[in-house]
Structure 1
């Protein structure tokens, strides 16, 4: 579990995050949503230590990340997996070598053990057959699946995903969502996803944090969205005519 308490972040005289408190739960897909410029990316960067908050706490199972020494933060980061907006794979390495990279850096396994662990992770994302290919030889969706395999190679307790469906078609996005949701439940990971994808929000949003102008405006399950009376949230979620029609249809059946 990750908990933030009264988190604030300012850049000179501009306050970007304003007294945000929230809990991100184990075994659930926790989504951070909000329009561009709302502060959700800054929030994610504060969670993983790329930025230091101006004030407030970031607690990893009760451990205050903000107050840790540099050495303690490095140790905690070994418990984290990260999936970037671009797959961020190494073009000169094979798929297998990409997945092995964190194992090469941080594990005490021998070569055979590292290869076996990498293949296990590739099997989990249905990509064992691509292990000898290079990133340029596989599709964008497959690259994202390799990134997921690499992110779980060290059995992380916490998984951070920055726009994991960026640039993917709806069908492939659904595959990525199902993988992230399944892995989160299977390994009881605290997964936090920064996303604009409304299909992800409605499909796997078990704990959603909606950020509006640097403040936590709403928190809840995707099932709660249809019934929400929060105008800012509904204006954001149901911006398209199709989603507005879907919401009206659901309410019409009651």
Structure 2
């Protein structure tokens, strides 16, 4: 569990995050949504320590990240997995070597153990036979699955995903969503996903935080969205005509 308390972040006179308090639950897919420029990415960067809050606290299972010294923060970061928007694989390394990279850097395993762990992670994302390939030989969806395998190699307690479905077709996006959802439950990970993908929101949104102009405007689950009376949320979620029709159909059915 990650708890955020009264988090604020300013750049000069511009206040980007405004007194955000929320909880990201363990064993759930926690989604952060909001318009471009709303502060979603800044929030995630504050959570992982890439930016330092102007004020407020971030607690990892009761451990205050803001109060830690440099060594303690480095140790905590070893409990984090990261999936970047572009997959961020090393082109000169094989798939297996990419997955082994965090193990080579941070684990105490011997070479044989590291290879076996990497193969296990690749098998978990259904890429058992791709270890000898290079990233350039893979599709975009397969590259994202390699990135997931690398992110879980060190058995993280916390998994951060930045637009994991960016650039993927709807079918492949669904595969990635289901994979992240199942891994989250299987290993009881606190998974935080920064996304614009409304299919992800409605499909795997077990805890959704809607950021609007730097503050937390709404929090709930996907089932609550259809009937929400929050106008800013509905304007954002139901921007497309198709989603508006879906929502109206649900409301009319309940009436």
TM-score by length of 1: 0.99
Gaps of 5+ in 1: none
Shift of 1:75: 0.2
Greater CA drift, 143-152 or 241-250: 241-250
Partner of 1:18: 18
Cα distance in 1 for residues equivalent to 2:213 and 2:150: 34
Cα distance in 2 for residues equivalent to 1:115 and 1:248: 52
Shift of 1:252: 2.0
SS at match of 1:19: strand
Shift of 1:64: 0.5
What whole-Å deviation, never above 9, does each CA across 1:106-142 have from its counterpart, x for those lacking one?
0011111001000000000000111100000000000
Partner of 1:199: 199
Partner of 2:53: 53
TM-score by length of 2: 0.99
Q: After TM superposition, list the pairs within 5 Å mapping 1:1-254 onto structure 2.
A: 1-254=1-254
| Runs (4+) off by over 2 Å | none
SS at match of 1:46: helix
SS at match of 2:182: helix
Number of corresponding residues: 254
Cα distance in 2 for residues equivalent to 1:235 and 1:157: 34
Cα distance in 2 for residues equivalent to 1:35 and 1:67: 31
Shift of 1:175: 0.2
